[in-house]
């Protein structure tokens, strides 16, 4: 596997030799002093260029970065609408295990681009044309304090959509039930846990994408409770996960409410939990579940 020094030299040597590339930046976890370092960290590179079309017209120019396992160019895909405007990205996983996410950015977007993310380091600026970029920080990703309205809405969404999960299980529609559990109910649980972590850290940390740093901020007992909310591929497993979610949500939300002086909707919790138990007992395979 090529080292970080080798990868950075490869990128910068290429950029220095190409007059169309006027500046190079690095973003993401490799600029974050708090992010754990490992061999799976991407190289999030941007080239600020004077002639976008010439790169797009000759797609083989990326071959000089090494043998690839697979390539994705999101802005050229039909299934997923492009989100980068005039920019174009090449996501490359190489045979040696390294990965470069390389984005071409029109040079005229330089001022706006340099203000988009505080995890940004300028590697090369041939013309000294980029605005001042301060030292990288992940503060934009720190847990944010919830307002009373956000707290209330989180609780409401959690308990409201829990009833959809029960309905799906009773109907023997397990894919429907799992989708609602994981796409709608779980994010509310994770958001509540995120706020609890914010309280204990004075809102000065990020829990990472998909909560990947959560374990470091939870007790072993609470971490295991969270893991117990992930079901297997069975009706019994989904029912168990749903009730485990409710128990953990109630526990954490109560702590968040106490910390901020917010009102936890105990009545909603009790009524919905009772409803979920009634539906579970009416389920066609209730005797096998409970």
SS3 labels along 228-239 = CCCCCCCHHHHH
How high is the pLDDT of residue 230?
94
Indicate the pLDDT class of residue 290, thresholds 50, 70 and 90.
very low
Indicate the pLDDT class of residue 288, thresholds 50, 70 and 90.
very low
Q: Which position has the higher pLDDT, 47 or 36? A: 47
Structure tokens at 149: 């309205």
Residue spans per domain, the chain? 4-137, 142-289
Q: For residues 83 and 285, give the distance between their C-alpha atoms in angstroms, rounded to a whole number.
A: 45
Alpha helices in 23-104 (DSSP H): 52-57
Q: For residues 38 and 33, give the distance between their C-alpha atoms in angstroms, rounded to a whole number.
A: 13
**Residue found under tokens 């894919």:** 175
How high is the pLDDT of residue 34?
83
Indicate the pLDDT class of residue 285, thresholds 50, 70 and 90.
low
Global pTM value: 0.85
289 has a pLDDT exceeding 60: no
Q: Which of 4-8, 124-128, 207-211 has the lowest mean pLDDT?
A: 207-211
pLDDT digits (tens, 9 = 90+) for 101-116: 999 999 999 999 999 9
Average pLDDT (242-270) is 98
Average pLDDT (112-130) is 94
Nearest to 253 by CA among 206, 185, 194: 194
pLDDT digits (tens, 9 = 90+) for 42-84: 999 999 999 999 999 999 999 999 999 999 999 999 888 887 8
**Residue found under tokens 């959560």:** 214
Q: What does pLDDT average to over the chain?
A: 94
Q: Give me the CATH code for the 142-289 domain, please.
A: 1.20.120.330
Alpha helices in 25-87 (DSSP H): 52-57
**Fold category of 4-137 in CATH:** Beta Polymerase; domain 2 (3.30.460)
Q: For residues 187 and 197, give the distance between their C-alpha atoms in angstroms, rounded to a whole number.
A: 15
Structure tokens at 42: 């991407």
pLDDT digits (tens, 9 = 90+) for 167-220: 999 999 999 999 999 999 999 999 999 999 999 999 999 999 889 999 999 999
């Amino acid at each position: 596997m090529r080292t970080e020094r080798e990868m950075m030299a490869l990128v910068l040597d290429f950029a220095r030799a190409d007059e169309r590339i006027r500046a190079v930046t690095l973003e993401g976890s490799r600029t974050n002093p708090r992010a754990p370092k490992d061999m799976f960290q991407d190289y999030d590179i941007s080239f600020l260029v004077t002639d976008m079309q010439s790169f797009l017209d000759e797609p083989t120019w990326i071959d000089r970065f090494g043998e690839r396992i697979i390539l994705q160019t999101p802005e050229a895909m039909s299934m997923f609408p492009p989100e980068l405007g005039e920019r174009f990205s090449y996501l490359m996983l190489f045979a040696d295990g390294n990965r470069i996410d390389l984005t071409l950015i029109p040079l005229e977007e330089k001022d706006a681009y340099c203000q988009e993310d505080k995890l940004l380091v300028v590697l090369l600026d041939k013309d000294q044309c980029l605005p001042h970029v301060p030292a990288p920080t992940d503060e934009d990703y720190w847990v944010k304090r919830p307002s009373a309205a956000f707290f209330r809405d989180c609780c409401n969404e959690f308990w409201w959509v829990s009833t959809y999960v029960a309905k799906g299980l009773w109907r023997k529609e397990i894919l429907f039930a799992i989708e609602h559990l994981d796409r709608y109910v779980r994010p509310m649980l994770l958001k509540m846990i995120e706020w609890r972590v914010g309280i204990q850290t004075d809102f000065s940390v990020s829990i990472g994408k998909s909560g990947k740093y959560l374990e470091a901020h939870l007790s072993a007992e609470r971490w295991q409770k969270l893991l117990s909310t992930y079901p297997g591929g069975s009706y019994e497993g989904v029912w168990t996960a749903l009730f485990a979610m409710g128990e953990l949500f109630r526990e954490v939300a109560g702590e968040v409410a106490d910390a901020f002086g917010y009102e936890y909707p105990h009545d909603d919790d009790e009524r919905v939990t009772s409803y979920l138990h009634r539906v579970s007992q009416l389920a066609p395979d209730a005797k096998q579940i409970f």
